[in-house]
Chains A and B, each alone.
Chain A
């Protein structure tokens, strides 16, 4: 008898509890503390429990694909439209992520029925004012980063980075694959160093004098200026300035953090409720003040650090659909790899 109860006890240790509960399961590739706080607030407000599995986007996608129809995943939350788009192209998402809130608050360019943008960011150029003149910068476009005048002066991340894949995908979409290929070669020739490190590392390379201009997302500078990354980075951030490319044509490359409704999601209604919540003014304000992204909805202002140091008054590229980042992702990676972009 004793043996049986011990075996039962041991066995029970292995079996996860499969209780049916009021919950929503998120495969989460955004690991900001702010997000976790939002999920807690959501649970407090609705009683819906949020289950998280954190990981890098690629690994999470893979697991959902392998689990197939049996996956417990409801929502996939990640920080790039290219990812949501590519995931949809694999047939892993479903239509039905629609609600009055989504329709009224998210511009059409930033959503499909499968996935919805919940916050925005722009990928821009940072420069060292003492080494780069206004005249040199004037009229700068992503396309002109391939101009030989920038030889040995650009810091940019590796080609495997999703933000770069999406930026290059937008160039493939706008200028064609061949032109994008030539462009990639030009950029590689202009690099100040082999691509390494994250977006902040590119900005710091400019501050430290390793490069004159860098390509990085908007919120990173605000994050450094906030002092959350220490006094040294705060001081470093003050040495660089932001520049929004392509102001005279289609506008600056925009990207989103997105939530995708996973195919076979067991808790679809709860998933939509969570997305609605993330689009509420309360949640949007929380995003802007903690992750320094741009709000998705109107009526919420970006954080003062963003407004004061980057400016708000810039032309966003609203003609290139962010959905195309996923469609052109493979082409983008191909042209970068072929150009020898590490």
Chain B
């Protein structure tokens, strides 16, 4: 065994793991630090409120995403009705709407003198409509915003699981004399449980990490609590203490997801011998309801926020010229390019290392290094600044060097490092699934032909992995286009993205001005989703 080469993979995996561990350790150490006493009593009340609100939010979102996601995937996978092929694809477009943009639209539409008021006034003339328009804000608005934006996780995983449910199972239900309804609840749903749970845990993690929408509706959850403790109470230790609770929540979800994933995989792989089922053709009223469900879901999750943004852009055209679209686009592409290069480089190295060495420690480190995705961006950003400030004050300066803060805080480098921690799992898992499809015999044949390991990697693996790499780049792009808290906290001077521009306008009472950057964000994200939909919605697992 060539230990020299192993070292490179080992070191790079170690480096990545260390990067991910830093925020977790920073948070954990601070948990035991004394927090300032000033608001001691108030703080315990707040902590209770944060936990309660986070739980309420989580439960609300999980119920709603379950109904929407499972309902849609069930209809689209098992039945034939008008528009089904369109909806199959269109229902993932909701990924292009981050929860905070959904929140802006929802609030603006139903607000006093908002869009709904304008519509009613146009239809019926002057009137006291405001009192009769329901108000979607606070916790309820938040649950709606997050659910309509995230249900697609459940939809995608649910659908891929339904697709491989054997016809046998469906027929079993028929033979037992079950109604469609009963078959669904007693046969189809239990069989797909692992996939649905996996989807729901992703939703749960994203919900707990959500910052923009929660901040907009001023609901105090653990995530905004961290931010407020840090900023309002000036108490980093308290912020980190809340983070600790949040991480505990997330750790549980992470484990749930991992365990379900394993089962989901088992489920998918065992499909051999089952025949791909044929869809049941719906007719009459059933067909209409199936269509209506999907249409309304598509309308509320995508068309509604999109049209609110288009409406504002048209109504307040002067805002259009205040946004330097080219500049924002270039900044976004710049971040995407750099992040993709770094993420893919390390993810390839690590995956290749795992493939040729089969080293247990290496494997463990890789698993550890992908856990960054579960940590909310706010925590990562705060912990990163805490760590750099500590490192700089205690180590760099005591050794007599110049401060390194400027290199890491408020720089592109710092931004990329934290993106890296947060999105490494996307790159790692994306490439891993690509590698899993390359049979080991391919490597062996290559060596027999006299290929070096390097040549095998560049001439054989890379071409095989091309599609996976492309998909990884698209996923990274989607995440970075929508990313808010990390960019907000760490970005350099004169540097904005579509997300930060929208957020700042919205937070400064200029919601209309948030429309232009939001609109571009949606369109670009939708473009990326469209070109990658074939991978997201793969009909067979090859």
Instruction: Show the binding face of A for B, using Cβ within 8 Å.
Output: 10, 13-16, 18, 25, 30-33, 51-56, 58-59, 61-63, 66-70, 72, 90, 158, 160, 194, 196-201, 204-205, 207-210, 229-230, 232-233, 235-236, 330, 333-334, 337-338
CA A321 to CA B187, docked complex, whole Å = 72
The number of inter-chain residue pairs (CB within 8 angstroms) is: 128
Chain A proximity mask over B313-349: 1 for CB below 8 Å, otherwise 0: 0011000001000000000001001100100000000
Q: A14-B416, A56-B507, A196-B138 are in contact. Are A63 and B112 (CB under 8 A)?
A: no
Q: B137 contacts A196, CB within 8 Å? A: yes
* Chain B residue contacts of A54, Cβ below 8 A: 496, 500, 504
**Closest B-chain residue to A337, C-beta based?**
B42
Residues of A within 8 A of B128 (CB): 208-209
Is there contact, CB below 8 Å, between A13 and B505? no
A-contacting 9-mer, from B6-14, B259-267, B404-412, B431-439: B404-412
Cα separation A187 to B410 with both chains bound (whole Å): 42
Least CB distance from B420 to A in Å reads: 12
Q: Specify which chain B residues have a CB less than 8 angstroms from the CB of A63 in the assembled complex.
A: 385, 409-410, 489
Given contacts A25-B493, A59-B488, whether A232 and B121 have CB atoms under 8 Å apart is yes
B413 in contact (CB, < 8 A): yes
B3 at the interface (CB under 8 A from A): no
| Closest chain B CB from A148 CB (angstroms) | 25
**Nearest-Cβ distance from residue B153 to partner chain A, whole angstroms:** 29
In contact, B112 and A14 (Cβ under 8 angstroms):
no
Q: What are the interface flags for B295-308 relative to A under an 8 Å C-beta threshold, 1 for contact and 0 otherwise?
A: 00000000000000
Give CA–CA (A54, B492) in the complex, Å: 10
A340 smallest CB distance to B (angstroms): 11
Q: What residues on B are CB-neighbors of A330 within 8 Å? A: 38
B311 to chain A, nearest CB (A): 11
Give the interface segment out of B66-74, B361-369, B470-478, B508-516. B508-516
Chain B residue with the shortest CB-CB distance to A229: B512
**List of B residues within 8 angstroms of A72 by Cβ:** 406, 410, 493
Residue of B nearest to A49 (CB): B494
Are B341 and A10 interface neighbours, CB within 8 A?
Answer: yes
What A residues does B410 contact at CB under 8 A?
53, 63, 67, 72
Please state if B510 and A31 are interface contacts (CB–CB under 8 Å): yes
B413 with A14: CB separation less than 8 A:
yes
Give the chain A neighbours of B488 by CB distance below 8 A.
55, 59
Query: With A and B bound together, what is the CA distance between A210 and B405 in angstroms?
Result: 50
**B residues within 8 A CB of A59?**
227, 231, 488-489
Q: Is the CB of A199 within 8 A of B113?
A: no
| Chain B residues whose C-beta falls within 8 Å of the C-beta of A200 in the assembled complex | 509
- Tell me whether A70 and B406 are in contact (CB under 8 A): yes
Structural contact, A208 and B505, CB atoms closer than 8 A = no
Contact between B403 and A70 (Cβ–Cβ < 8 Å)? yes
- Complex: A18 Cα to B389 Cα, angstroms: 20
Within 8 A of A (CB), among B59-112: 111-112
A312 to chain B, nearest CB (A): 24
Note all chain B residues with C-beta closer than 8 A to A58: 231-232
Given known A-B contacts A53-B491, A55-B504, A67-B405, A233 and B232 have beta carbons under 8 A apart: no
* B interface size (C-beta, 8 A): 59
B residues adjacent to A (C-beta < 8 A): 38-39, 42, 111-114, 117-118, 121, 128, 130-131, 137-138, 218, 227-228, 230-232, 234, 315-316, 322, 334, 337-338, 341, 385-386, 389, 392, 403, 405-406, 409-413, 416, 488-489, 491-496, 500, 504-505, 507-510, 512-513
Q: Verify B409–A67 contact, CB threshold 8 A.
A: yes
Contacts of A337 in B (CB 8 A): 42
Task: Collect the chain A residues with CB atoms within 8 Å of residue B411's CB.
Answer: 16
Q: In the bound complex, what is the Cα–Cα distance between A312 and B512 (angstroms)?
A: 30
Task: Tell me whether A199 and B509 are in contact in the complex, defined as CB-CB below 8 angstroms, given that A13-B338, A70-B405 are known contacts.
Answer: yes
Of the candidates B117, B218, B509, the one whose C-beta lies within 8 Å of that of A196 is B218
For the complex with contacts A31-B510, A208-B113, A236-B112, 16 further pairs of A-B residues with Cβ separation under 8 Å are A13-B338, A14-B338, A32-B508, A52-B493, A52-B494, A53-B492, A54-B500, A55-B504, A62-B230, A66-B386, A67-B409, A67-B410, A160-B218, A198-B509, A205-B112, A207-B113
Between A and B, 9 residue pairs with Cβ closer than 8 Å are A14-B412, A53-B493, A66-B389, A196-B218, A201-B111, A207-B112, A210-B131, A333-B232, A337-B42
The reply to whether B42 and A334 contact each other, CB–CB distance below 8 Å, is: yes
CA distance A333 to B228 in the complex (A): 13
Q: Please report the C-alpha to C-alpha distance between residue A199 and residue B509 in the assembled complex, in whole angstroms.
A: 8
Please pick, from B117, B131, B492, B495, the residue contacting A232 in the complex, using a CB distance under 8 A: B117
User: Hey, which chain B residues are within 8 Å of A53, CB to CB?
Assistant: 410, 491-495
Report the 8 A-B pairs with minimum CB-CB distance, sorted nearest first: A58-B231, A208-B130, A204-B112, A232-B113, A51-B493, A208-B112, A70-B403, A198-B509
Question: Contact at A158–B218, with CB atoms within 8 Å?
Answer: yes
| Least CB distance, B316 to chain A, in whole angstroms | 7
CA gap between A32 and B113 in the complex, in Å = 23
Tell me the complex Cα distance, A180–B231, Å.
24
CA A155 to CA B111, docked complex, whole Å: 15
| Nearest CB of A to B252, in Å | 29
CA distance A236 to B118 in the complex (A): 12
Q: Looking at the assembled complex, report how far the CB atom of A73 sits from the nearest CB atom of chain B, in whole angstroms.
A: 10
